[in-house]
């Protein structure tokens, strides 16, 4: 081979090596994200990386990607790279199909619709499809859920979710997590208390919505168990909110009259199914209410805690104190607003 051709060949190889292993350069953000939609050609994928500066030489990227079969392995999804990543790292990540999983926190007490919104916001999961599937009795039955919807069985936890992951896959994972937590021992406890799994989860969901302090969950649970044993209505505001899908603002007297199987001010017993997805502390509290408690009433005290009572007289006095607290708080808020306006 003539010396001139050798020199040219070595030059091309050196340029390719430098191109592949040179960092893309510094950016304002520590990480860069690239979304690859289904159906993109490898040339279009190269363009995506070129647009944000992670690939400086698209022809070289295409040659290497095709030579190693990477163009057939790169799957759709969301990828995350450090802003200083080089082409070799990009190619390796695409070869492995290592899409980035969002760490999504689903907190206790959220309804199906609220869980769907979290997933949409954090990982662009189709929220409408999620809600539809989670309320599909045939689908949730195949997952082993002993209810007509997945409400109550989408266990609150931190999940690694693929970008735009299939809603059915996410629901299945959350339900499996529920049954790992609500194991045979808790199911046996429910049976010992004369409750089905769905009834136990329904009780837990009410406790979840009523309690703000973990220390009070067993005592709140005891109130509702005592009411059931005495043939009293549960009269739990969260069940009315669930019936009306009204999760903000005050519950009004007219709200308490809504004709719904979930309205425990009108109907006796537990609602037909859970009203939210409770966490483990509420599940345990539902099955292990405070021993020896005779409380049948509780009312908020304004600081997240509640005042519990055994008689209607005590309860009425506690409600009066709470009303005075609300009035005082309202007056203080108005005074603060007036002072702020004067200061302006």
What confidence tier does 77 reach under pLDDT thresholds 50, 70, 90? confident
* pLDDT value, residue 11: 35
DSSP assignment of 198-246, as one string?
HHHHHHHHHHHHH-SSGGGHHHHHHHHHHHHHTT-----HHHHHHHHT-
Domains of the chain: 12-99 (3.30.1490.480), 102-181 (no CATH), 184-327 (no CATH)
What are the pLDDT digits (tens) for 20-63?
Answer: 444 444 444 688 988 888 889 999 998 998 898 889 899 999 99
- pLDDT over 70, % of the chain: 87
Phi, psi dihedral angles at 308 (to 5 degrees): -105, 145
Of the listed ranges 20-29, 38-47, 114-123, 290-299, the least confidently predicted one is 20-29
Q: Of 104-113, 179-188, 226-235, 330-339, which gets the smallest average pLDDT?
A: 330-339
Over its C-alpha atoms, the chain yields an Rg (Å, rounded) of 29
For residues 327 and 302, the answer to whether their CB atoms sit within 8 Å is: no
pLDDT in tens, 163-209: 899 999 999 999 999 999 999 999 999 999 999 999 999 999 999 99
Question: At residue 80, does pLDDT exceed 60?
Answer: yes
């Amino acid at each position: 081979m003539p010396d001139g051709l050798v020199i040219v060949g070595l030059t091309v190889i050196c340029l390719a090596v430098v191109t592949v292993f040179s960092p893309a350069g510094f950016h304002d953000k520590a990480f860069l994200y690239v979304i690859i939609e289904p159906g993109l050609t490898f040339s279009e994928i190269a363009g995506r990386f070129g647009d944000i500066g992670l690939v400086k030489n698209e022809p070289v990227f295409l040659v290497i990607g095709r030579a190693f079969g990477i163009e057939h392995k790169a799957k759709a999804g969301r990828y995350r790279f450090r802003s200083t990543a080089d082409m070799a790292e990009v190619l390796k990540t695409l070869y492995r199909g290592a899409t980035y999983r969002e760490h999504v926190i689903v907190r206790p007490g959220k309804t199906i619709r609220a869980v769907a919104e979290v997933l949409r916001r954090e990982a662009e999961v189709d929220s409408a499809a999620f809600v539809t599937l989670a309320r599909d009795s045939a689908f949730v039955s195949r997952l082993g859920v002993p209810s007509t919807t997945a409400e109550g069985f989408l266990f609150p936890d931190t999940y690694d979710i693929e970008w735009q992951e299939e809603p059915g896959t996410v629901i299945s994972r959350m339900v499996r997590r529920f049954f790992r937590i609500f194991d045979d021992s808790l199911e046996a406890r429910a049976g010992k208390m004369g409750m089905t799994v769905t009834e136990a989860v329904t009780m837990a969901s009410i406790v979840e919505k009523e309690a703000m302090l973990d220390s009070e969950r067993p005592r709140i649970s005891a109130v509702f168990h005592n009411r059931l044993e005495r043939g009293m209505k549960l009269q739990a505001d969260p069940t009315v909110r669930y019936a009306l899908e009204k999760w903000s603002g005050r519950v009004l007297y007219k709200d308490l009259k809504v004709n719904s199987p979930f309205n425990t001010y009108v109907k006796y017993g537990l609602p037909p199914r859970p009203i939210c997805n409770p966490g483990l502390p509420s599940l345990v509290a539902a099955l292990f209410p405070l021993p020896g408690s005779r409380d049948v009433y509780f009312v908020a005290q304004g600081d997240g805690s509640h005042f519990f009572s055994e008689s209607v007289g005590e309860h009425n006095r506690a409600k009066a104190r709470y009303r005075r607290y609300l009035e005082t708080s309202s007056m203080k808020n108005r005074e603060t607003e007036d002072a702020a306006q004067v200061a302006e």
